[in-house]
Amino acid sequence: MAKFLKALTLLAAVMLPAQTGASFVDNCTTFDSNLWSKADWAQGLGSVQSANVNPSGGGVLNFEIPAGTHNGGEIRSKAQYSFGQVAANFKVPNLPGIISSIFMYQGTSTSDEIDIEVYLNKGKWEIAFTIYRLGVKEWVHPYYPTWDPSAGYNDYMIDYQESAISFYINGALEAQFHTPSQQPIHPMNIQLNAWYPEWLNGPLAASTEFFQVNQISYTQS
């Protein structure tokens, strides 16, 4: 019986997140190490580096893309989050081939994931809304803005609910997925990053640019 109870305890530890996050608003005046950790690893054509993620001191979290590199930066929430609204206000760099994103990611080999990715591809801005369930891409919806995402700050939001997942930009609903049987089923970390994927095959950064974030929030349902 003791062995059985121990096995159940271990199973629960695997199945449940170590920390479940509550609602928060981060105004990016400092780097909040209670909420976030920085990443250091190879990714795509280059790497994401913790040294490239720093607050400006004026309410902006800068993700630096150094000139002559394919390097960027990434942050990941220490807690995992379930149903609710994940939002950020940010300005993307005007560099071809780099993805700037806010997303939810479980972080396993068969990971659940919900993405908003902004990038400049062959001279045209694109925004991709994507959903994975257990590592399988279930849905992707491309959006082609008539405005320049690098010209100023814009609001991006994932509204993750049991009945549907909705994607908003500047308060306007731009896409919605409402097939609950194909939605993520696990709590996920909130992440933001700027990185160069191989498939976009972007050139080295012609100048030092920044992915700039001035607010990140989560509102629990």
pLDDT at 13: 35
- Reduce the DSSP state of residue 58 to 3 states and report it: coil
- In the CATH hierarchy, which top-level class contains the domain 25-220? mainly beta
Say yes or no to pLDDT of 10 above 70.
no
The pTM score is 0.90
Mean pLDDT of 54-75: 98
**Domain extents for the chain?**
25-220
- Please list the helix, strand and coil fractions of the chain in percent, rounded to the nearest 5, in that order: 10, 50, 40
pLDDT in tens, 131-143: 999 999 999 999 9
pLDDT at 133: 97
The answer to which of 1-10, 40-49, 64-73, 161-170 has the lowest mean pLDDT is 1-10
pLDDT at 20: 74
pLDDT at 213: 99
Cα–Cα dist 172/143, whole Å: 13
pLDDT at 108: 87
pLDDT at 11: 35
Mean pLDDT of 151-162: 98
Cα–Cα dist 55/63, whole Å: 9
Cα–Cα dist 62/198, whole Å: 23
Phi, psi for residue 86 in degrees, rounded to 5: -105, 120
Q: What is the DSSP letter of 76?
A: E
Other beta carbons within 10 angstroms of residue 87's beta carbon come to 20
Mean pLDDT of 29-45: 98
Mean pLDDT of 51-65: 97
Distances (CA, A) of 107 to 104, 110, 112, 186: 9, 8, 8, 10
Q: Which residues share a beta bridge with 211?
A: 63
pLDDT in tens, 186-218: 999 999 999 999 999 999 999 999 999 999 999
* Cβ–Cβ under 8 Å, residues 184 and 112: yes
Percent of the chain residues past pLDDT 70, beyond the cut: 91
